Structure formats: C-alpha cells, structure tokens
Structure 1
Amino acid sequence: MAVLTMRDALNQALHEEMERDPSVIVMGEDVAGGAGGSSGNVEAAGGIFGVTKGLKTKYGADRVIDTPISESAIVGLANGSALAGMRPVAELMFADFVGVSLDQIFNQMAKFRYMFGGKAKVPVVLRMSMGAGMNAAAQHSQTIYPMLTMVPGLKIVIPSNPADAKGMMKQAIRDDDPVIFFEHKALYSRKGEVPDGEHLVPFGQAELVREGSDVTVVALARMVPFAIKAVDKLAEEGITCDLIDLRTTSPLDEDAVLESLSMTGRLVVVDESNPMCSIASEIAGIAASKGFSSLRAPVQKVTAPHTPVPFARELERMYVPSPGDIEAAIRRVMEGA
C-alpha cells in the first residue's frame, strides 16, 4: 500500500471516481486553482489546500468548474446538476460559511428525495474544510458538524486518516443521498497507508482503533490521533482503552459504542466542537438512555470551551482539546468507579 497524506488520498479518490464515471463533476471557489478560465493544459494548485490539483488539466473546465465566491450559488448549482443526473462534488472552502447556503442545504438538498416520494435523487457531495489548530481565527476554524448532523436527509462524514478519507470519499460520490464531507485542515498533511484502487468505506460503521478493557474512548476527526497518544501512554501504565473512531455522525454507529461500554463500564467522549448540543453530548445521552446499566462512573466529555476559536496561538492551543486533556479525563473516569 502507498503512504499518502490525507490531501493526496482525497485527490486520488476524486481522480479515480471522475475516471470511472463521467457524470462526476467538481465545482467550487478556485477548485481549478484559478486556471478555470485559462486555455490549454494549465497546471493549477487545485484550491487553497491542493485537494483538487490536476483535475482541471485532466478532465477540462466543463467538469472542473471554478465558481464565483457565492456559497449559495455553489450549493444551488450542485443541487440542480444532481437533480439533472450528474454527481457533483461541490466545495465550500471553509465550513464556517455554510450559513450563507443553509437554506439550500437543509430545506432543499436534504428534503428533495423525501418530498418527491423517493423519485428524486440528490447525489451531492458537499466538501468543506473545518477545525482549529491552524491559527485561522474565529471565522475560519469552527467544527460545525453537530449543526448539520441534526438535519434529517443528510449523511455526515468525518474521516480521521488518509485511508478513510479515500474510501469514504469514493463511497460518498457513489451514494444517491446528499453527503456532507468534513475535512479537518490540520489533518491534510497527516500520512498513512492507503489501499490502492477500489477501496470503499461504508457509512455508519465505526472503527475500533485500539482495544482495551478499562475505558471506552469515542473520538472523531483530529481528536482520534490525539486520543491515540493518550491511550497509548496510559497503556504503558496498565490502563487499557477501547478507542472508537466514529467516522460518520449520521448514520451513527450506536451499537459500537454501547457494545464497548457494556464491557468497560466507563466512557470518555472527545469532540473538538463546543460542548452544548455537541456530538459529545449526543453520545453521552445515548450512553445514559441506552447503556445506563453498564455505567460504573459518570461519562466524561472532552470538548472545546463554549467560546469562539481564539486567534492568538497560545489561546488556540488552550482552546483545542489536547492529548493531556484526554488522558486526564480517562484518569478521572477510572477514579470515579
């Protein structure tokens, strides 16, 4: 298997799916790297994060479309082209600006199939970068997946490693329902082994990253590698943990969480988003309502504080949950039982 960054794994998935299916198109601000209107085979950067690099050169401006800076126009174009039989992969450069196109997403994209009795398909993949840790300040650093997870009709995908990024992107493009695909900015350069060729990762199936008997740790996105550091350190002391990477929040693999909890009796949930109405709160609620008899200690939530993301590097480091914060929460839940 090749070792790729998450950026290159996503790029490989897009190349493979565009080669496989001519109905797959890509659109968004600067997805052709500013070369959308250029003549000839102009190599371009492929967006500010380089994920769409090389697509315009290979597939042309008819399938790789640079759009105006208008999120509502991008999502509207994606919706219309999907209803017309295409499989658009649309990019919102930053998840923070999803509010500009929110009506197009939760009142249109998410509801078309339901409102038309299943006769309409909306195979849109809406890519967006998210997350703190890159000193991008309050309007470019948020993790807003809880806000879209609550919308019926959307599938929410949040990979934590290159292999999942490739397999879930390919799965998303082939799905007949709209998929919101969150990419953590701080993970674009993370490297890992990626299967060659046909590699699909099904939605709604969490991954057991580490196995243990003392504590169940649930994490997603950038919090997964942070949790790995904490769990591996504690394993040296004899405290072993099940570490579950959720991968998707809708559909959500409740069974994986509850099965692990039934064996460990202790739960720590790690979520970079703010604490109120977060995925951490949802998992804690599931544990309380469906796994209460298994709990031997109160659930511990490790989240960002309920504040905007700070710009100052020192404050941002304090804002983002750290491996040390996760380790401390695991120790607390061990002491609580």
Structure 2
Amino acid sequence: MTMIQALRSAMDVMLTRDPNVVVYGQDVGYFGGVFRCTEGLQQKHGNQRVFDAPISEGGIVGTAVGMGAYGLRPVVEIQFADYVYPATDQIVSEAARLRYRSAGDFTCPITIRMPCGGGIYGGQTHSQSPEAMFTQVCGLRTVMPSNPFDAKGLLIASIENDDPVIFLEPKRLYNGPFDGHHDQPVVPWSKHPLGNVPDGYYTVPLDSASVYKPGLALTVIAYGTMVYVAEAAARESGVDAEIIDLRSLWPLDLDTLIASVKKTRRCVIVHEATRTNGLGAELTALIQEHCFYHLEAPIERVTGWDTPYPHAQEWAYFPGPARVAAAFKRVMEA
C-alpha cells in the first residue's frame, strides 16, 4: 500500500469495527478528500458515517469535541495543516483540556488528521509544518508517521485512544517511496516495502520511537520525510548513522533516544519545520540534560529556514542530504 491507501484502510477498518467512529471534513465524503485518502468510504459506509463539512475548521473541530464528549469517535480532516489555525481555540482550550477540567468525567477521543510539509509547490498556505505548536499543549498527543505500515497502525491506535490526537501526514510520502532527494517514487521503502501492510486490524503504539537504521557513529533523530533525507545523507557520506524515527512527537519515547545517544556519543536532529522554537530545540535540551557526560561533540540541528515559506525556493528550504551530511561531518570532526 501507499501511505494514502494505508490511511484509508485504517479508517475503513475502524468504521467497520466501531459504530461510534465517524469521518468528516472538507470534501472527504463524495469527493474522497483532496488527496483521496477517504475515497470510497462514503459509498461503503454511508453518508451518516462519512460526510462533508462546511469550510469552517473551528466548526469541524468544535463539533468533534461535542461528539467525543457524547461518546462518538470522530476522525476529522483539516484539508491542509496550514488551515488549522482557526480551530486552535477548540483544540487547545476545549479538546486538550476536557478530561482535566471535568475531573475525568468526560473524554475527548477525537483524531485530527492533516497533511503537512512541502513538496507540492503549495507555497506559504499549503506547506507548513506546525507540529511544535501542538507538542507543547498538555493533553494532546502528536503523531507523524514516515511509512505506510506505521501510518495505518498509528491511525488505528489514535482513533482508539481516549484523548485527542493530532495526526500529521507528510504530503511528500503520500504516494510512494522517497529517496531523500525529490518527490518521485524511485526506490522501495527501506523497512516496509509497498504492499507490506496487513489488510485487517493492527496497532502501532502511540508512544514509541523506531530504530529505522542501526548505527554506531552518531544518532540522527528525525521524523516524517526527514527520515529518508537522513538515510540518503548517511548513505552518501559513508557515516554509520543510527536513524531514530520518532513517530510519536509527543509523548516522546525518551528512553530510546537516550540509549542511542549514549551508545553513539553524537547527535544530529533533522526536521523540516523552522529552526527557532522548533521541536529540535526541545529535543536538544532533553539530550543535553540526559546525555551531557556521554557527548563527544555539540548537538547539531538541521532544519527549515526561519522565514515565511519560500514558494519559489521550496527545495532549497528543505533540509536535503547535502546539508545533513555537512552536519554529520562537523559532528564527526568535533
């Protein structure tokens, strides 16, 4: 399966298993979503279970909060992560806090799916990576898969979770394998080949990282598309890098990160979002706190620029293998 097919399969499985699951958002019903992730689900499960919503992100998430408190399990799609900001109050002030403010009397089992990142020349309003905004909100889980197998298992686990989950989907990985350089499907997935996704039910834990590639020279912490950029950098530089795919951005699998850095004694963090106050800053602080006496070089971050998203220079904006490999070189020579 491609990631799109895996996500669709996850929703299909849960719509079939649980009558409380509903799927809705802009164009997700008859049209099947702008990226076709929900294609065919309305025809199979009916327009009471899979349906379109008005162009109102605040309304989409606000109704989901009420549905979740009532006992349903809404899976809502924000058409692009860039569109989520009108729903920020509903996510932060309502969904994330409902369990706490009700002393556990109510939960908010909602999953908010949204495509993120660049790669489609979508410019400033279709290409943002807002994950750091959500990872600092207590009561939210934030997830970003890097491959079809994890995408399906993580989405099923998110739908079954009793707390709200922000489910970020890298657009560059939607339609096939990615070699770290460009958006064309040119090589097989390193870990989960296309098609190696079970048709039925399974889950991937929401709080576990994956050792995508074992190594001894340095630890690379990445997620989403940047896992493959890091792999390309390691391949081309010849550095024996251990690549950790976070999968769950919050809560973090800190034990896996610490064990890897204590083993390799060097660390590079890679993400597509802007550098300042990005998730890499928090990861750097945590590694510093827990691994200071094991480090043999400063921790490096390779990220997007601290600028509005540059439409005409999209591929220069992304961390690419050359930039990541240069960081590897600095860390290895420090």
TM bucket (normalised to shorter chain) is over 0.9
Structure-2 separation of matches of 1:174 and 1:128: 18
Structure 1 distance, partners of 2:47, 2:215, is 51
Is residue 2:235 matched to residue 1:232? yes
Give, in whole Å, the separation in 1 of the partners of 2:316 and 2:53.
37
Q: Deviations over 1:236-256 (max 9, x none)?
A: x4x311110000111111111
Aligned partner of 1:194 in structure 2 is 197
Q: Secondary structure at the match of 1:68?
A: coil
Give the equivalent residue in structure 1 for 2:326: 328
CA shift, 1:151, in A, is 0.2
Matching residue of 1:295: 295
Code of the residue aligned with 2:255 in structure 1: it is D
Q: Which residue of 2 aligns with 1:143?
A: 129
Correspondence 1:257 to 2:257: yes
Measure, in 2, the Cα distance between the counterparts of 1:323 and 1:194: 28
58, 65, 72: which is aligned to 2:51? 65
Identity of aligned pairs, percent?
42
Aligned residues: 317
Aligned partner of 1:74 among 50, 53, 60: 60
Deviation string, structure 1 residues 24-82 (Cα, Å, up to 9, x no partner):
000100001xx3xxxxxxxxx40110000111101111111201100000001111111
What is the alpha-carbon distance in structure 2 between the residues aligned to residue 190 and residue 232 of structure 1?
20
> 1 CA distance for matches of 2:106 and 2:310?
43
The amino acid that maps onto 1:100 is: P
Matches within 5 A, 1:198-213: 198-213=201-216
What is the CA-CA distance between 1:98 and the residue it aligns to?
Answer: 1.4
Give 1:40's aligned residue. Answer: none
Residue 83 (structure 1) shift: 0.8
Q: Which residue of 2 aligns with 1:95?
A: 81
Spell out structure 1 runs of 4+ moving beyond 6 A.
none
Report Cα offsets for 1:120-151 as digits up to 9, x if no partner. Answer: 11100000111012100011110000001100
- 2:186 alignment counterpart: none
Following superposition, the deviation at residue 104 of structure 1 comes to: 0.3
Matching of residues 35-46 of structure 1 within 5 Å: 35=30, 45-46=31-32
Superposed displacement of residue 287, structure 1: 1.2
Distance in structure 2 (CA, Å) of the matches to 1:331 and 1:242: 15
Deviation, structure 1 residue 294: 0.9
Equivalent AA in structure 1 for residue 92 of structure 2: F
SS of aligned partner of 1:252: coil
SS for the counterpart of 1:291 is: helix
Aligned 8 A contact 2:9 2:199 in 1: no
Decide whether the 8 Å contact of 2:57 with 2:86 is kept in 1: yes
Aligned to 1:266: 266
Would you say 1:304 and 2:319 are equivalent positions? no
Cα deviations by residue, 1:260-294 (Å, 9 ceiling, x for unpaired) = 11111100000111001111111111111111111
| Preserved CA contact (<8 Å) 1:132 1:309 | no
1: CA distance, partners of 2:13 / 2:199: 10
Query: For the residues of structure 1 that align with 2:210 and 2:198, how far apart are their CA atoms?
Result: 16
Measured in 2, the distance between the counterparts of 1:136 and 1:70 equals 20
Counterpart Cα distance in 2 of 1:286 and 1:85: 37
**Separation (CA, whole Å) in 2 of partners of 1:198 and 1:124:** 19
Distance in 2, Cα, partners of 1:69 & 1:18 = 24
- CA apart distance, 1:199: 1.8
Look up the SS of the partner of 1:151 in the other structure: coil
Aligned to 1:220: 223
Secondary structure of the corresponding residue to residue 273 of structure 1: strand
Q: Which residue is equivalent to 1:38?
A: none
Q: Which amino acid aligns with 1:299?
A: I
8 Å contact from structure 1 (residues 274, 304) kept in 2: yes
> Please, which moves more after superposition, 322-331 or 18-27?
322-331
Which amino acid in the other structure matches residue 211 of structure 1? P
Q: For each residue in 1:300-325, what CA deviation from the matched residue of structure 2 results, as whole angstroms up to 9, or x when unmatched?
A: 1000010111111xx11110100121
Unaligned runs of 5+ in 1: 36-44
Q: 1:196 to 1:61 in 2, by over 3 A?
A: closer
Q: Partners of 1:117 and 1:190 in 2: how far apart? A: 44
For residues 67 and 316 of structure 2, the distance between their equivalents in structure 1, rounded to whole angstroms, comes to: 43
Q: Which residue of 1 aligns with 2:183?
A: none
TM-score (norm 1): 0.92
